[in-house]
Structure 1
Amino acid sequence: MAKNILIKPIISEKAEMLSETTNQYSFIVNQKANKVEVKKAVEEMYSVHVASVNTMIMPAKARNRNTRSGLIKGRVSSFKKAIITLADGEEIDFYGDI
């Protein structure tokens, strides 16, 4: 179940800053998943206690790229992002297996 809801963690500068300062972690989740399902999936997969879940749908964007043959137009798909706030004293280690 958790594998279908949680697609992948977001690892960016902003996400790292949130995890260090406010104990919040960002994930790309299934578009049809609700907050309760996301909370259960994170608690099941990482064995932590989730204090709150905030979700948002990031809109699709048009992108252009210059190549030798000319301009290539494309788009980036929309996705659902969840920001998980963990209880005090808990953390998720994404790099533990490396």
Structure 2
Amino acid sequence: MEKSRNQLITEKSIRLLQQNQYTSHVDSRLTKTEMKNWIEGFFAVKVEGINSSRVASKRKRRSKLSLNSTSIKKMIARLRANYFIPLFIN
């Protein structure tokens, strides 16, 4: 199962980097515990907390067909002091 899809770069996520919080899209089937364990194992950091939310899917219309795009889950991981993820811009 694909864990992390991509880093989310918005004005808010850049502000959160200053508070040692990292934002990304993740697989919508993951739980907070699975996200935490994956981040700690993959990046060798200690996670203090995880906030997650589902981003609402958008309805797309093509001719007479109406399609729903898949929903995406957004994760904000708060790391303990003195830990950071080098792939993200600080």
TM-score range, shorter chain: 0.7 to 0.9
Contact 1:7 1:29 in 2 (8 A): yes
Gapped regions of structure 1 (runs ≥ 5): 65-73
TM-score (norm 2): 0.78
Q: Tell me the CA shift for residue 47 of structure 1.
A: 1.1
Query: 2 CA distance for matches of 1:78 and 1:94?
Result: 25
Mapped pair 1:84 → 2:77: yes
Does residue 37 of structure 2 align to residue 49 of structure 1?
no
Contact kept in structure 2, 1:5 and 1:37, CA below 8 Å: no
Q: Would you tell me which structure has more helix in proportion to its own residues?
A: 1
Once the two structures are superposed, residues 6-33 of structure 1 have per-residue CA deviations (whole angstroms, 9 ceiling, x without a partner) of 222212221111011x211011111110
RMSD: 2.4
| Alignment-mate amino acid for residue 83 of structure 1 | I
Q: Which amino acid letter does the alignment assign opposite residue 11 of structure 2?
A: E
What's the TM-score, normalizing by structure 1?
Answer: 0.73
Unaligned runs of 5+ in 2: 62-66
Q: Secondary structure at the match of 2:33?
A: helix
3-state SS of paired residue (1:38): helix
Which of 16, 24, 32 aligns to 2:21? It is 24
Q: Which has the larger radius of gyration?
A: 1
